Amino acid sequence: MPTRPILIVVAALVLLATPLPALAQSCVLCYTQAASAGARMIQALRSGILILIVPPTLMSVAMIFIMYRNRNRCRDAAGAAESNPVWKKTPS
């Protein structure tokens, strides 16, 4: 039974489930602007946060997916060093 992958998944879930302190909320300017803003400004702030977070997250997920799908592209059963003549040493 593969215990190492199970332990890694459990550790990742524990880290994701534990709340971290929101250190970015201590910015005085951000706090005063958000506190004095109306409903439209708060909605604009939320939209701005989503715009800044969603695209990098989606690009990271897409990159991981592409790397996972192409993980065996450069490998074969015999090994890349023996089958590819470019990697063979030339006699001197």
Tokens of 63: 């990159």
Residue 47 belongs to some domain of the structure: yes
Residue 64 belongs to some domain of the structure: yes
Give residue 63's domain range: 28-69
DSSP per position, 24-52: GGG-HHHHHHHHH--HHHHHHHHHHHHHH
Residue 50 belongs to some domain of the structure: yes
Instruction: Please tell me the total count of domains within the chain.
Output: 1
Count of helix runs (H) and strand runs (E) in the chain: 4, 0
Residue 59 belongs to some domain of the structure: yes
pTM exceeds 0.85: no
Flag whether pLDDT at 14 surpasses 70: yes
| DSSP class of 78 | S
Residue 40 belongs to some domain of the structure: yes
Residue 13 belongs to some domain of the structure: no
- Assign 89 to helix, strand or coil: coil
Residue 9 belongs to some domain of the structure: no
How far does Cα 86 stand from its chain's mean position?
34
Task: Summarize pLDDT for 30-75 with one digit per residue, the tens.
Answer: 778 777 888 888 888 888 888 999 999 999 999 999 998 888 877 6
